[in-house]
Amino acid sequence: MKSLRLRAILLRWVLAVIFFGSCGTVPQTRVLPQENQTPTSSTTSSANEINQSLSLAAAQSTSSPSDYKIGPDDLLQVTIYNIPEQEARVTPRMTTLRVSQQGMVVLPLVGEVPVKGMTTATLEVELRKRYDKYINNPQIGVLIAEYRQRVSVMGAVQKPGVFELTGPKTVIDMLALAGGVTDKAGNQVHVYRQVDNSQGRQSFVIDLMVLANSAGLINDKNAAMVNMPVQPGDVVNVPQAGMFFVDGAVGKPGSYPLGRRYTLSQALATAGGVNPELADYSSVSIFRRRGPTNVETIPVDLSAVMSGSATDPQVEADDVVVVPMSTMKYLVKRFVGTIFSGVSGGSIGGMVGGS
């Protein structure tokens, strides 16, 4: 009876999480642009032309260091200009502070201040409010003495490496900083983003040709979606031509060379196999370029393929294979699995027996 009661309690709790907790995002892959999100300008066909477009767009960027958002490990210099000389020993005019991993700094008099996500201008306003209790009309300036927010650019680019963000940057900005793409570049750009420890990784797949064509469309909404802003910690990868990409509920998501003919099941095996505890077998998709500005979505029922009732499709160069995660499986794995791994049999009995 206790076991049945425990299962009923857990089932009700999980259903409540699914119904009310939809803000908890299941790790996802987004392919940009979709068929109805393609600029109409002509296709750029060579690496040189692509790089010219990227350089032009980067030069037209309106981002400024004043728009930079403060993050962990940044070094800030805070100056209170109107501190009386006799009080300078108690409250220094100038203080240098390292932002903590939690996005906080500690200042004389006012103590702990959350700064993550603020610009220097917004932080100056916040500090003036806090110091107003102690100093008449405080005049405060904030400078970033050392930038520590970084984005990695890798793959078929001229100068792969880790780059500091000294202001808001987009995918085009980062490719321009890396010197543009090489002649070995394929047709895609991948952006990997760690959301947080509980939600895992997001992946964005961008068509390189469409990205280059979006360079001159500064005020176009679809172009802005393709040329997405990067965030600290992002990894921008330009795979070489002749590769395929697998993401989602697989053992080893990533790009793989298409050295021979692969079926879908073989491609998934190369990527470490499908995770049966998380995968939604019925909703696998292959995204395939069908023209300069057209990406076809090929739905695949992997259960039917495995049972032999459906054809195992061939994978082609530059294909993007996505094995989505089942929301129900993900929540059960994340929440219920955590409960059982952290609770012994005796304590479970105690929990139920006390109710």
Same domain, 170 and 210: yes
Judged by DSSP in three states, 179 sits in coil
Residues 273 and 220 in one domain: no
Tally the domains of the chain: 3
The candidate with the shortest Cα–Cα distance to 205, out of 325, 322, 317, is 322
Does one domain contain both 249 and 228?
A: no
Distances from the Cα of 13 to the Cαs of 16, 24, 199, 215, in angstroms?
5, 15, 19, 48
Residues of the chain with pLDDT under 70: 1-28, 33-45, 61-64, 85-90, 196-200, 214-224, 292-293, 327-355
Q: Both 176 and 230 in a single domain? A: yes
Of 146, 179, 199, the one marking the end of a domain is: 146
45 lies in the same domain as 194: yes
The pLDDT tens digits of the residues spanning 211-270 come to 877 655 445 555 567 788 898 889 999 999 889 999 888 999 888 998 788 999 999 999
pLDDT at 325: 83
pLDDT given for residue 244 in this prediction: 92
**Among 122, 146, 170, residue at a domain's last position:** 146
Indicate which CATH number applies to the domain containing 47.
Answer: 3.10.560.10
83 plus 105 within the same structural domain:
yes
The pair phi, psi for residue 254, each rounded to 5°, is: 155, -170
Is residue 349 in a domain?
no
The secondary structure of 86-128, three-state, reads HHCCCCCCEEEEECCCCCEEEECCCEEEECCCCCHHHHHHHHH
Question: Are residues 167 and 233 located together in one domain of the fold?
Answer: yes
Longest dimension (CA), the chain: 85
Flag whether 5 is in a domain.
no
For residue 229, what are the domain limits? Answer: 29-61+149-238
Model-level pTM?
Answer: 0.69
In a domain, 342, yes or no: no
* Residues 313, 319: Cα–Cα separation, whole Å: 12
Question: Of 146, 163, 189, which residue constitutes the final position of a domain?
Answer: 146
Q: What is the spatial distance between Cα 299 and Cα 287, in angstroms, rounded to a whole number?
A: 9
